[in-house]
Amino acid sequence: MTPLRRLDHVAIAVRDTERALEYFAGALGLAVVSSEEIPVPRVRLTYLDAGNAYVQLVQPLDPDSELAAWLGENGEGIHHICFGVDDVAGAVRALSDPGAEVVLGKGRGRVSSFVTAAGSHGVRIECTEFHRATDVDASPGWLVHAD
């Protein structure tokens, strides 16, 4: 069994990041930590601090992409959950169905990959690199608000 180190993020598929930020940053008060556009798949990833994990807004930038099709079929909402692990490729192999291909990608400067498992009860699972110094030692574990 591959040890999961922590919940890294919950990803929410959105059509428009700026509009979604009105709620997630505005109404909920979550601070934007980083935002980036990645070329494959062509998406905008925006990470918001949720204490000891992130909320990730995922916006497709290619109208013909798999994510855009998913949004068309399912609408905006939770797309996947991601766990931090020590060895992404090893964790994905261990958690995926036998023979599933491991395709490595990047987000937030970290290697990541999706698990392919029929037994995941319809939940898309992603694994990303765990960095103790950033993910635990430098993280307070709760939201700090100016009083």
pLDDT at residue 1 in the model: 63
Alpha-carbon span 47 to 90, nearest angstrom = 25
Closest to 5 (Cα-Cα) out of 87, 114, 86: 86
pLDDT at residue 84 in the model: 97
pLDDT at residue 139 in the model: 81
- State whether CATH 3.10.180.10 applies to domain 6-137: yes
pLDDT at residue 102 in the model: 93
Please report, for the chain, the start and end positions of each structural domain, with discontinuous segments joined by +: 6-137
Q: Is the peptide bond before 60 cis (omega within 30 degrees of 0)?
A: no
pLDDT at residue 3 in the model: 83
* Weakly modelled stretches of the chain, pLDDT under 70: 1-2, 145-147
Please list the alpha-helical segments (H only) found in 22-120. Answer: 66-74, 88-95
Alpha-carbon span 114 to 139, nearest angstrom = 25
Tell me which residue has tokens 């700090």. Answer: 144
